[in-house]
Structures are given as structure tokens and as C-alpha cells.
Structure 1
Amino acid sequence: MTASVRKIVVIGLSLSSSWGNGHATTFRALLRGLKAEGQEVLFLERDVPWYASQRDLPTPDFCDLAFYDSVEDMIARFAPALAAADAVIIGSYVPDGPAVIDAVAALGVRALCFYDIDTPVTMAKLRRGEEDYLARRQVPLFDVYFSFSGGRVLDRLEAEFGARRAEALYCSVDETRYRPTGATPDLDLGYLGTYSPDRQPTLERLLIEPARRLPHCRFAVAGPQYPDDIDWPANVERIEHLAPADHAAFYSRQRFTLNVTRADMIAAGWSPSVRLFEAAACRTAIISDRWEGLEELLPEGEAVRIAAEAADVVAALSEISPDGRDRLAGNAMDRILAAHTGRARAGDLLHVLDSLPAQPLRRRA
């Protein structure tokens, strides 16, 4: 029996370093899934000092990884691989993104795709005329615009921005790396995420204020770039950065974990964070802010506890029994592992690529 093998080139923000970004873990889960499906992937990453000094996956075993210094350097060295690829996927937030897109499109690649891991942010930027990683005129260039947001966002991409075909490609989790460790939890509530000004008010409301009201409980916030002037209560542990290898252990320390969504993503809806999937895969009970589409993913009261105010978090920490917490965590884990692993997402990607106009496929015996 033979299996169709595609040669796929991905140009993304980062695969080698998870420092200060959620793209690396998203790409890692997806590309491991593609490897499991027998696909061949080359990932091209701009060599920048802030990731070069913080690389936690310099030599992945599931794809080829190469670095380039500039758009000109990338084209000079990798034009043959790009031209021969069955699909080229360019990600959001790639440095000099518009120039990268124009240069790759000029090669006449077989299938040119965009993977937006920041779709609501991208749409808001384009409406303001900000085109640092994607120009509005370029949206119709792509055979497929993959969006990590679904629902009505897909209609807006096509109707407002001219996408020829918008498809949901949610982030996913590598269940072989995100799973319960069996550790006894020593934190009542934790949060994992890089500092973001639009998320900070929610973090203040749903973690820092509850920490002040519950001085006997333990809290933790892990992630870089938080300003020095934040007034952290004494019962909040600060962890500057956690490599992905340490995420499962961190989630397993928590009785509950907090999911906080960026404002643009709340406004758009249907934009689940990779952290949501990772926590669920680790069987950690989730407290989340509310956004459209969440209850389709994780039903309220069954697989997630939704909080709007500090009092909601205090009530959850004070009133939910260990058995109730375990039911929330178990139901969320079952739902995420059933449909949101890297291999499941790789299948979604390949299904869309297979539906494009016929292209020559390389076959492996």
C-alpha cells in the first residue's frame, strides 16, 4: 500500500524558541502530527538574537529546520525547495512578512497558504492600516488562508479582506508531551502566558485580586516581559520563563489554571488559545474568561468554569470539591484529546490541501 507524501515548506515566526511567543508550541504540535502522517516538512525561521539566545528546540526530530538572515538570503538559499514544494505555508508575525510573501509568490509555488495564528489581531491591524507582517493587498494571493479562529471570522476574511478560501486551523496540543505528571498539586490557581497589556486587566481581576482575598491560597504566574511595577501579592509565585518541557509539570502543580484571552480574540470569538488545549491535556481544571465559541469547545459547568469577576474565582476555589474539580478536568481532557491533538490538526490541514486543484504528489512505498 502506498501513502501520499507531500513536501511542505513552512516559514514561521519561530520553531526553535518558545520564549515570549505561543507560535513555537503550536507549530511543534502540528508538525509532529504531519510527521506522524508521513509528511516531509522544512521549517524556515528568521535568525534573530532574541530567539537565538533562548532556543529550547534547536534540532527537532520531526522536520528539517533551517535559519535565514534576510529575505534575500532565504530566496537565494531555499528557492529550489520552495519551488519544488507541494505547499508553502507562511505564518503570521514573520519578520518582514510582506516582503517574504511577495518573494515567495514570485516563485510561482504550487500552493501558497497563510497560517494566521493571530487572526483577530491581524484583522484589527489591517483595519488600522498596519501591515508589519501581512499587507491587505496580499490576502487574495493565497490559495488558502488558514485561520486559528473559526466561526464568523472565516466569513469576514473572505467578504471583507478578499481571502479566496478561509479555513479554520485551530491550534492543537501534542498529547505525548502535555499529559498529567501525577504530581500532588501545591498551587490553587496558576497562569501561563507572556505579558500582554490587553490581558493584564483580566489577570489583575481574575488572579491577583483573588490572591489578595485568599491569602491562605497559593498562586503562580509564569511568563516573561511583565513590568517591574506590578504589585504582586506575597502569595503569588513569579516564574520568569518556562520552557515547553516544563509546562506539563507546571500545569500538574495546579488545582485550577486560568485561561485569559486577548481582547481582539474575545471580540472575534472562536479563538481558543493553545494554553487552553495544553492545560486540558494535562488534566488540569480550567477557569476561563468568556468568549463566543468556548461552550461549544468546553461546556460551562461540565468541562470549564467561567469567571467574569474576582468573586467568581474565589467561589470556584472555595466551593468546588476535589471530585468536582476532577470531573471538570477529566471532561475537558476527553474533549481535547478527541479532536484537538497535533495529529488531528495535521489531518485537517492535509484534508484541505488534498481538496485543492490536482498537483503531482510524491509517493512513498
Structure 2
Amino acid sequence: MKISFFGSSLVSSYWNGAATYYRGMLKEIAALGHEVTFYEPDAFGRQAHRDIDDPDWARVVIFPATPDGWRRSLDAAVQSADMLIKASGVGVFDLELENAVAALPSRLIRIYWDVDAPATLEAMESDPQHHLRRAIPCYDMVLTYGGGDGVVSAYRSMGARHCVPIYNALDPATHFPAPANARFACDLSLLANRLPDRETRVDHFFLDVARHLPGKSFVLGGSGWDDKDASANVRKVGHVGTADHNAFFGSALATLNVNRDSMARYGFSPPTRVFEAIGAGACLITDQWAGIDHFLEPGREVLVAADGAEVAEHLAALDPEQARSIARRARARILSQHTYRQRARQFNDLFVASSSRIEAAE
């Protein structure tokens, strides 16, 4: 099967939290015998911040961020593909691409892969004229990387023929325990880009905790935080490339996950950072959201906090041996149940079923 995939970026994680998900999923999909071509725009300085070379398991096509650029790439993809996937959040010409893919001939399997379903659905619900309301019923399937039954029901109400979550997972070949790095050493770390619908939660779950625990040390990684007010015990280290993720997560006593507002509301939306951190051997503290127990056992494999006060309580009570035990149990659980190899098999099974439905319809 020849698969053409339009996404934000495969080769750069710069302002692109979906990079790990794309890499993990597509590498394992290719390993099942599919031929993958990834189309990404030359936008947002990502090509200047590449953190991997073109992989041997996918062909990468970088197109100019212009009307002619996306159209030429789509025309080329249509000529060679059996399946065409448009991911959400490409960042440029999303509306045009989503409408164009929806209008493609039915000989192609057309997939809308939403890597931020809660935000997409909230945008659709607030705008009766949103273009995806017309486009989604034309796609053969909607895949999401989270959201559970709430997202599936919402997409079905928007006319989706089929909607299936394929959750984030771990690629043990890229995220694994690594030696600690003094640059990232602290009691609590957080790796997250500064985004409007996450910032207030970062304030409550991380920065306020640092202010109330002056004797503890904190490291904040990610883009956009340079001018953010923080207490003296918070070190900002800026963008952390994927090559340093293992050291980042493994250098702290514990690392924190803070979901964005919409993801927390829908639940069942573990971001890539959860699996990356646990794969790297970190003890994880996460904000509370519905469905966490589907992936990890609270109290035994992950520490869950309803607010900043509970983050502070966990951190104050945590000792190195306890942190190592939690991290060890969590990594064993993720390796046994939540790897991209397992997710790719799920995708493959869906693809076989989808092909059968299309052939029957014809």
C-alpha cells in the first residue's frame, strides 16, 4: 500500500509536538510493508531546526508554503498513492488541503488524522460554517490520537463515517533511559511549548508550585517561555531537541505532564510527552484527566494531581527510591501494552477493514 501523508513535520520537532507521534507511527506502519511518503511545508523555521535526517522508512517531500506549492504536492501524491492522509495542524493551507482531499476520487482511501481532536471539535462546534463540517463526511475515516468515546461521539455527530482513536505510544528505540545531564538536573522538570490553552495550567501546576517550594529546583524546557515570569528556582532551558529528550526526562527526580485545556476536558488524551518521559525512565506526575487509568495505574505507575497543591504534596513526599520504583513499573506497563508497533498493527487492521468496505461499496 502506498500512503501519502500531509503533516506539520516529520524531520523537525521545533514547535511541533506531533513529531514523535508521526515518527513512531509511520516507522512501524512502514515496517508492516507499506510505502510512506510524508509531505510537509517549509514553514515556521522548522527546516532550520531539523533534528533528524530523512529516515530510510519514509520519503520526505518538503514543499514551498505557497498556494502553488501545496497544490503541486497534492497532485503528485494523488498520482502515486493508494491512501491519502491529511493530518490536522499542518500550519499552512489547512483549510485548502482538507477541502481538496475531501473532494478526491473515491478510488483513494481518504483519512483525516486529527492530532488535536479536542481543539478541532471545539472549533467546529463553535462555528456552524466551519469547513470541516462539510469535509469530514467525505473522508473514509477519521483517526485521532486521543479523546476516547467523547471524541468518537462528537465526530460521529459531525458526520464522520468512522472514527477511531489511535493513541500516542512509545518507540523504545528512540526513548530509553540515558545518563543524567547536569543541565537538566532538578527536582521537577516540565517540557512543553508555551501555548495559549496550556499556559494557565502550567502556571497552576508548575510555576506556582515552584514559588511555594523555594527549597526545590525546577527546570522548564520548551519554546516561548523566555519572557515568562518565574521564581529564582526555575531554570528555563528553551527548546530541547529530540536528541536530548532522554537526558532531559532522566535527569530530574520527577517530570510533570500538563495537558492543554481541551485535552483535559475530553480526557483519554495522553500527549506524546507521557510516553517519551516514561520510556526514558522518568517518574511521572500528571495533571488529572479522565482515562489516565486506561494507560497507567495511579499511585503505582504514575502520580496524579488535581491541582498545584497536590503536585507540591507529591514532590515533597517523593524520595529517589520511590521515584525509581514508580518509573520502573510505568515503563514495564508501557512496553507491554502501549508501543507504536502495537498501534501500527491497530492501524493495519483498520486499513484492511476500510479497504473491504470501499471495495464492497464499489
TM-score (norm. length: structure 2): 0.91
2:188 aligned partner, one-letter code: L
- Tell me the equivalent position of 2:138: 141
- Tell me the equivalent position of 2:202: 203
SS of the equivalent of 1:232 reads: coil
State yes or no: 1:151 paired with 2:160: no
Structure 1 CA distance, aligned partners of 2:113 and 2:203?
Answer: 31
Are the structure 2 counterparts of residues 327 and 184 from structure 1 closer, same or farther at C-alpha, using a change threshold of 3 Å? farther
Equivalent residue pairs, number: 354
SS of the equivalent of 2:55 reads: coil
Structure 2 CA distance, aligned partners of 1:144 and 1:71?
Answer: 26
* Superposed displacement of residue 203, structure 1: 1.8
Q: How does 1:186-201 map to 2 (within 5 A)?
A: 186-201=185-200
1:152-203 deviations in Å (ceiling 9; x for gaps):
2244234421100001111222211111014388311000010022322222
- State which of 297, 300, 317 in structure 2 corresponds to 1:299: 297
Higher relative contact order (CA 8 A, sep 6+): 1
- State which of 158, 173, 176 in structure 2 corresponds to 1:176: 173
Which shifted more, 76-85 or 22-31? 76-85
Are the structure 2 counterparts of residues 50 and 210 from structure 1 closer, same or farther at C-alpha, using a change threshold of 3 Å? same
* Superposed displacement of residue 280, structure 1: 1.0
2:220 aligned partner, one-letter code: V
State yes or no: 1:14 paired with 2:12: no
Check the 8 A contact 2:143/2:164 in 1, yes or no: yes
State yes or no: 1:82 paired with 2:78: yes
* Superposed displacement of residue 305, structure 1: 0.8
- Tell me the equivalent position of 1:219: 218
Structure 2 CA distance, aligned partners of 1:152 and 1:360?
Answer: 25
* Superposed displacement of residue 306, structure 1: 1.1
- Tell me the equivalent position of 2:34: 39
TM-score (norm. length: structure 1): 0.90
Check the 8 A contact 2:188/2:256 in 1, yes or no: yes
RMSD: 2.3
Structure 2 CA distance, aligned partners of 1:321 and 1:18?
Answer: 32
Which shifted more, 103-112 or 244-253? 103-112
Q: How does 1:331-346 map to 2 (within 5 A)?
A: 331-346=329-344
Are the structure 2 counterparts of residues 103 and 72 from structure 1 closer, same or farther at C-alpha, using a change threshold of 3 Å? farther
Are the structure 2 counterparts of residues 242 and 131 from structure 1 closer, same or farther at C-alpha, using a change threshold of 3 Å? farther
State yes or no: 1:67 paired with 2:62: yes
2:277 aligned partner, one-letter code: A
* Superposed displacement of residue 130, structure 1: 8.6
Check the 8 A contact 2:181/2:248 in 1, yes or no: no
Q: How does 1:229-244 map to 2 (within 5 A)?
A: 230-244=228-242
Structure 1, unmatched stretches of 5+, are: 1-5
Structure 1 CA distance, aligned partners of 2:71 and 2:357?
Answer: 23
Are the structure 2 counterparts of residues 38 and 285 from structure 1 closer, same or farther at C-alpha, using a change threshold of 3 Å? same
Check the 8 A contact 1:125/1:131 in 2, yes or no: no
Structure 2 CA distance, aligned partners of 1:113 and 1:131?
Answer: 21
Structure 2 CA distance, aligned partners of 1:126 and 1:27?
Answer: 24
SS of the equivalent of 2:355 reads: coil
* Superposed displacement of residue 58, structure 1: 4.4
- State which of 262, 265, 282 in structure 2 corresponds to 1:284: 282
Structure 1 CA distance, aligned partners of 2:214 and 2:72?
Answer: 59
2:264 aligned partner, one-letter code: I
Check the 8 A contact 1:279/1:286 in 2, yes or no: yes
Structure 2 CA distance, aligned partners of 1:175 and 1:145?
Answer: 27
- Which is richer in helix? 2
| Identity within the alignment, % | 31
SS of the equivalent of 2:196 reads: coil
* Superposed displacement of residue 74, structure 1: 3.8
Structure 2, unmatched stretches of 5+, are: none
Check the 8 A contact 1:98/1:131 in 2, yes or no: no
Are the structure 2 counterparts of residues 131 and 66 from structure 1 closer, same or farther at C-alpha, using a change threshold of 3 Å? farther
Check the 8 A contact 1:118/1:148 in 2, yes or no: yes
- Tell me the equivalent position of 2:259: 261
Structure 2 CA distance, aligned partners of 1:142 and 1:34?
Answer: 20
Which shifted more, 118-127 or 197-206? 197-206
SS of the equivalent of 1:199 reads: helix
SS of the equivalent of 2:354 reads: coil
State yes or no: 1:120 paired with 2:118: yes
